[in-house]
Structure 1
Amino acid sequence: MPIKIPKLLPARDILEKENIFLMDDERAITQDIRPLNIVILNLMPLKEKTETQLLRLLGNTPLQVNVTLLYTSSYEAKHVSQYHLEQFYSTFDHIKERRFDGMIITGAPIEHIPYEKVHYWPELTEIMEWSKTHVTSVFNICWGAQAALYYHFGIDKKPLKEKLSGVYTHTLTDPTVKLVQGFDEEFVAPHSRHTTILESDILANSELQLLSSSDEAGVFIVMSKDQKQIMVTGHLEYDAFTLQDEYLRDQAGGFNPKLPQHYYPNDDPEKKPVHRWRSHAHLIFSNWLNYYVYQQTPYEWE
């Protein structure tokens, strides 16, 4: 089944060329099924790129998905036009009376800032608190995952000596958990961050379950035992060239970044990166939508 997005959303042309099944309002109203309503709180600076990455994954399931895009009104985005926000996005005030089947909270390149000093932290905590009663399950990514662990479970991030950037091997702790059903026992996934979460902090918390970790990248997939909060500290949604774009951006900014690890063939930046995590990206999002959103959400919220 398709994903329903606005006709003029820039991501639409890209996804249609990839044969992702899309639908507009006119066709959606003819479908006699209960669609899933998913809200995406997009905290990334390059919002259009993140939209495309996430919609690609949400559109590859048997379920019809209606997507609402959300941005924080307490912070002025610098890398996206105001027209794009006004045309395609909502603010929390406009949607807080609604209920959603699922929510995605993206990462943000602000790991070096203490949570309480982030401009939109008060607004984000209000949204996270609201999600407890208005959303069936929340999928938190990278900094969003760290923020969720801090707000909901009191687990703070720890600074790394240098940026963690690359594609790392991960292992599963329990392949029978539905979120990772179909995963290989070893698989790769991208990371791009300056902070980490200690595995000992996750294991010491009785409300959390560690599902996957990496010897090099550390904690990767964590789920609350009530299944309402899923935290993924890496970026399975990334395209093949996203780490390269970040590397070149950091180079241009004078940060002297290290080459992303295990990313370029033979560590040669002249060679094209290979997209080695695509299948697991599709798996985790389809498993989340099926088992933790569709199977758990009431048909009628009221």
Structure 2
Amino acid sequence: MPIRIPDHLPAHKTLEREGIVVMDSTRAARQDIRPLQIGLLNLMPNKERTETQFTRLIGATPLQVDLTLVRVTDHKSKNTPEDYLKTFYRTWEEVRRQKFDGFIVTGAPIANLPFEEVRYWPEMIDILNWTQTHVHHTMFICWGAQAALHHFHGARRYRMEKKAFGVYRHKVVKPASPYLRGFSDDLAVPVSRYNDIERESLSPDLEVLIDSPEVGLCMLDDPKHRAVHMLNHLEYDNRSLADEYERDQKAALGTPPPVNLFPNDDPAQVPENRWRSHAFLLFQNWINVIYQTTPFELEQIGE
């Protein structure tokens, strides 16, 4: 089944070229089923690129999905025109009375700031608490996962000796998890972060699903809060890390090339995507878990 996204969203043409079936509002209205309601809280500066990455993965499900793009209310974007945001996004204040089957909270480029110093942290706390009453299941990504682990579990993060930057091998720890159905025993995962979570601070309510001896925790299950926490970036396209590297080069930050991304470790070569299949599997599994467990009546979510 198709994914329904806002009419005229730029991601529409990209997805159609890739064979993802996209539905307009008129056609969706004739479907005699209840579509899954999924929200995407996009905290990344490049809104268009991030929304395309996630809609690509969500749109591969055989179920009909209505996607709502959400932004924090108390934040002015420096990288996305306000007209674009007003056309395609709703603020959290505008959706806070809605119920969602699934909700995704992305990463954010604020790794060096303590949580409490993030300008929109008070609203972020409200959003995290709101997921417990208005969302059936939440996927937290990167900084979003760190924030949720800090808020819900008091997990402590620490700054690593050097930035984990590249494509690293990871081990599946819990192959029986419904979120990892069909996963290989080990997999390549894009990583771009300065921080990791202290294992000693993890709550017993959490279960590690994917791990790496080289770069640390990757994915955790949080059944108590009906959530999964993905600290890395299976949603990335093949240029995400390469573009970040080029940006750092222009800023003279001295960032080394991302490991295991370019053929022969040559930044002049086209990056290889070796994680795409697992990205699609993860989101199809996540949506399937939501479909199997969410109430048929949307308003019953959270009750």
Q: 1:227 to 1:152 in 2, by over 3 A?
A: closer
% identical aligned pairs: 44
**TM-score for the superposition, normalised by structure 2:** 0.97
Give the gaps of 5 or more residues in structure 1.
Answer: none
Name the aligned partner's letter for residue 77 of structure 2: A
**Matches for 1:29-44 after TM superposition, within 5 Å:** 29-44=29-44
The number of aligned residues is 299
Per-residue CA shift, 1:183-232, capped at 9, x if unaligned?
00010110101111123333xx2110001101111100101133611100
- In 1, the alpha carbon distance for the partners of 2:103 and 2:120 equals 18
Name the aligned partner's letter for residue 294 of structure 1: Y
Q: Secondary structure at the match of 1:162?
A: strand
In structure 1, the residue matched to 2:168 is 168
- In 2, the alpha carbon distance for the partners of 1:222 and 1:119 equals 27
Residues 199, 218 of structure 1: 8 Å contact kept: no
In structure 1, the residue matched to 2:199 is 199
Residues 142, 233 of structure 2: 8 Å contact kept: yes
In structure 2, the residue matched to 1:62 is 62
In structure 1, the residue matched to 2:88 is 88
Further displaced range: 219-228 or 186-195 = 219-228
Residues 132, 225 of structure 2: 8 Å contact kept: no
Name the aligned partner's letter for residue 253 of structure 1: A
Residues 154, 201 of structure 2: 8 Å contact kept: no
Per-residue CA shift, 1:240-296, capped at 9, x if unaligned?
0110000001111121101111111121111111100000000111100001x1111
In structure 1, the residue matched to 2:99 is 99
In structure 1, the residue matched to 2:213 is 215
Name the aligned partner's letter for residue 126 of structure 1: D
- In 1, the alpha carbon distance for the partners of 2:281 and 2:109 equals 25
In structure 2, the residue matched to 1:245 is 243
Residues 74, 120 of structure 1: 8 Å contact kept: yes
In structure 2, the residue matched to 1:300 is 297
Q: Secondary structure at the match of 1:102?
A: strand
Residues 39, 68 of structure 1: 8 Å contact kept: yes
Q: Secondary structure at the match of 1:53?
A: helix
Q: Secondary structure at the match of 1:219?
A: strand
**Matches for 1:63-78 after TM superposition, within 5 Å:** 63-78=63-78
Per-residue CA shift, 1:149-203, capped at 9, x if unaligned?
001111021111222110000001110110101000010110101111123333x
Q: Secondary structure at the match of 1:226?
A: helix
**TM-score for the superposition, normalised by structure 1:** 0.97
Give the gaps of 5 or more residues in structure 2.
Answer: none
In structure 1, the residue matched to 2:22 is 22
Residues 264, 272 of structure 1: 8 Å contact kept: yes
- In 1, the alpha carbon distance for the partners of 2:110 and 2:256 equals 19
- In 2, the alpha carbon distance for the partners of 1:73 and 1:300 equals 28
Pick one of 263, 268, 278 that aligns with 1:270.
268
Q: Secondary structure at the match of 1:284?
A: helix
Per-residue CA shift, 1:15-65, capped at 9, x if unaligned?
111110100110000000110000100000001000000000000011100
Q: Secondary structure at the match of 1:69?
A: strand
In structure 1, the residue matched to 2:4 is 4
Residues 139, 229 of structure 2: 8 Å contact kept: yes
Is residue 2:149 matched to residue 1:149?
yes
